[in-house]
């Protein structure tokens, strides 16, 4: 898939069969194959070579081609992927696993360590790894979502939470893979379909729990769910935490403007669901540059009896006022052949009254004019200083091309005119 600036992307998680950590990683790496090298490198930094490795394998679910994200651990004869934070022996009808045997999770390779299941220990493991930029922060944030839900459900504090699934290497890999993907696509907008509710009971470290589990329901409390009649654990706590972290609070359905379908990816779970494909589908949309339309108020007035110093102070205070979009001044000749200064202010309509009052307080004018005008603007994104670049903004033109410009404030501390011009040119080539 061709690359696009992240802020132009809307990524929709279509939970056809459900969502778990491995399904998310598989679907995203199918949609964004250029991220595979980064994600696999981050996994290698967290997963010791003698413990296992990750493999991406083409497959299908209900005759739909899909990618599978498999964690192969040393000594395992099957490709395991565990999806609930408490389970030790699953023999129930699980939507993301096809367990036809009761395998032992106490295998010496599967667990990270006897004392490594605490939230604080796992944070330290992630923080100490040599990960790509942003991966650790994103992975720890996902882990924190799970931990806070578990703490609330079990009546303890975050620092005392013990993870049983996350103490397995394959599940920690899911969290790090999701963190790496989230960091690489920082700035994208995320949405999700209604989530499949599933049903039944799941056997866990804490006994039988209803599906969705208490932690999952706590994490996704304000999301929309659907009942398609297919039982089992359809959304796992790890999958739920990824959705919550990426989307935050789900938005009411609103128009996202014109978009093109930029690409798609499909990740499969390991179990066949009756009547439906057990897949997570990712749809990647790219914004089509359109001129946005809105209205602004224009305030104008003249003064002919203020000094240059007084005008400078007034301009600074007007520009700093809430709702002021732009302030410009010009010189012309007024009545009685007097030189005067013409003020022109663009203001948000909801702030116009306060701005007009400020004009009358900060200048010598005894009256002003105001009217409303329609304006057309192009979509833009502002970027703060970082990674060796000055603060700049990128504008999307109607033909899809992009232009960049360094913010003038970002050039103030650069020593010479030549250096400032050089920095401005570099910014325009971003």
Give the pLDDT mean for 250-274: 71
Size (the chain), residues: 430
Q: Give the residue-averaged pLDDT of 283-296.
A: 70
* Mean pLDDT for all residues in the chain: 81
- Alpha helices for 72-134 (secondary structure H): 119-128
| Same domain membership, residue 305 and residue 272 | no
In this structure, are 354 and 406 located in the same domain? no
Instruction: Look at residue 114 and tell me whether its pLDDT is greater than 50.
Output: no
**Averaged pLDDT, 238-251:** 89
Residue 197 has pLDDT above 50, yes or no: yes
Q: Give SS3 for 30.
A: helix
Residue 357: predicted pLDDT:
96
At 254, is the pLDDT very low, low, confident or very high (cuts 50, 70, 90)? very low
Q: With 90 as the cut, is the pLDDT of residue 48 above it? A: no
Residue 326 belongs to domain with CATH number: 3.30.70.1380
CB-CB contact of 292 with 376 (8 Å): yes
Instruction: State how far the Cα of 17 lies from the Cα of 230, in Å rounded to an integer.
Output: 9
- H helix runs in 155-251, sequence order: 169-184, 214-219, 237-247
134 within 8 A of 183, measured Cβ to Cβ: yes
**Residues 201 and 348 grouped into a single domain:** no
Are residue 416 and residue 345 in the same domain, yes or no? no
**Of 287, 311, 339, at which residue does a domain stop?**
287
Give residue 291's pLDDT. 55
φ, ψ of residue 423 in degrees (nearest 5):
-65, -40
Domain that holds residue 392: 380-427
Whether residues 172 and 229 share a domain: the answer is yes
Regarding beta strands 225-226 and 195-196, do their DSSP bridges make them parallel or antiparallel, or are they unpaired? parallel
Asked if residue 86 belongs to a domain, the reply is: no
Q: How confident is the model at residue 255 (pLDDT cuts 50, 70, 90)?
A: very low
Find residue 293's DSSP bridge partners. Answer: 376
Q: How far apart are CA 262 and CA 77, in angstroms?
A: 39
Q: According to the model, what pLDDT value does residue 104 have?
A: 38
Instruction: Name which residue leads in pLDDT, 241 or 267.
Output: 241
Structural domains counted in the chain: 3
CA distance 157 to 147: 9
Distances (CA, A) of 154 to 76, 86, 87, 288: 32, 12, 15, 47
From residue 354, alpha-carbon distances to 19, 316, 319, 347 in Å are 50, 16, 13, 10
pLDDT at residue 424 above 80?
Answer: no
- Both tokens assigned to 420: 């400032």
172 and 235 in a single domain? The answer is: yes
Domain boundary among 287, 312, 338: 287
Helix (H) or strand (E) run with residue 292 in it: strand 292-303
pLDDT at residue 26 in the model: 96
Structural domain contains residue 388: yes
Q: What is the pLDDT of residue 75?
A: 67
Check whether residue 345 and residue 388 sit in a common domain.
no
pLDDT at 167 over 60: no
- Residue-wise pLDDT for 311-353, tens only, equals 999 999 999 999 999 999 999 998 888 899 999 999 999 999 9
Q: Do 67 and 49 belong together in one domain?
A: yes
Residue 92 lies in a domain: no
> Do residues 379 and 354 lie in contact, with contact meaning Cβ atoms separated by under 8 Å?
no
Answer whether residue 122 is part of any domain. Answer: yes
Q: Are 129 and 197 in a shared domain?
A: yes
Among 1-5, 7-11, 25-29, 224-228, the range scoring the smallest mean pLDDT is 1-5
Neighbouring C-beta atoms of residue 406, cutoff 10 Å: 22
Rounded Cα–Cα distance for residues 226 and 124 (Å): 37
Instruction: Report pTM.
Output: 0.63
């Amino acid at each position: 898939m061709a690359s696009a600036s992240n802020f132009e992307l809307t990524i929709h998680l279509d939970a056809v069969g459900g969502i778990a950590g491995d399904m998310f990683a598989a679907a995203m790496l199918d949609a964004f194959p250029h991220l595979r090298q980064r994600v696999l490198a981050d996994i290698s930094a967290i997963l010791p070579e003698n413990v296992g490795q990750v493999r991406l394998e083409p497959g299908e679910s209900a005759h739909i081609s899909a990618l599978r994200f498999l964690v192969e651990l040393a000594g395992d004869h099957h490709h395991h992927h565990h999806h609930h934070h408490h389970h030790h022996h699953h023999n129930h009808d699980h939507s993301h696993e096809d367990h036809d045997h009761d395998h032992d999770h106490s295998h010496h390779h599967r667990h990270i360590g006897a004392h490594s299941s605490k939230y604080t220990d796992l944070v330290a493991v992630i923080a100490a790894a040599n990960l790509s930029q942003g991966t650790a922060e994103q992975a720890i944030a996902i882990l924190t979502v799970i931990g806070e839900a578990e703490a609330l459900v079990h009546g303890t504090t975050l620092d005392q939470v013990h993870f049983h699934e996350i103490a397995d290497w394959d599940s920690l890999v899911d969290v790090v893979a999701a963190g790496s993907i989230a960091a690489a696509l920082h700035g994208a907008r995320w949405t999700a379909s209604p989530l499949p509710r599933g049903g039944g009971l799941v056997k866990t470290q804490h006994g039988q729990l209803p599906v969705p589990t208490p932690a999952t329901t706590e994490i996704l409390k304000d999301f929309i769910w659907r009942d398609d009649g297919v039982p089992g654990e359809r959304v796992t706590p790890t999958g739920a935490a990824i959705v919550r972290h990426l989307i935050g609070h789900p938005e009411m359905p609103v128009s996202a403007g014109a978009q093109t379908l930029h690409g798609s990816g499909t990740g499969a779970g390991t179990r066949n669901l009756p009547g439906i494909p057990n897949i997570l589908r990712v749809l990647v949309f790219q914004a089509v540059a359109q001129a946005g339309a809105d209205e602004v108020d224009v305030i104008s007035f003249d003064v002919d009896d203020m000094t240059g110093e007084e005008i400078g102070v007034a301009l600074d205070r007007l520009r700093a006022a809430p709702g002021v979009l732009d302030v410009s001044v010009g010189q012309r000749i007024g009545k009685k052949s007097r030189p005067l200064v013409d003020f022109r202010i663009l203001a948000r309509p909801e702030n116009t009254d306060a701005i007009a009052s400020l004009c009358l307080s900060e200048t010598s004018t005894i009256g002003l004019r105001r009217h409303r005008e329609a304006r057309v603007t192009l979509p833009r994104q502002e970027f703060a200083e970082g990674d060796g670049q000055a603060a700049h903004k990128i504008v999307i033109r109607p033909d899809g091309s992009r232009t960049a410009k360094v913010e003038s404030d970002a050039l103030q501390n650069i020593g010479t005119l030549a250096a400032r011009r050089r920095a401005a040119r570099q910014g325009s080539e971003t």
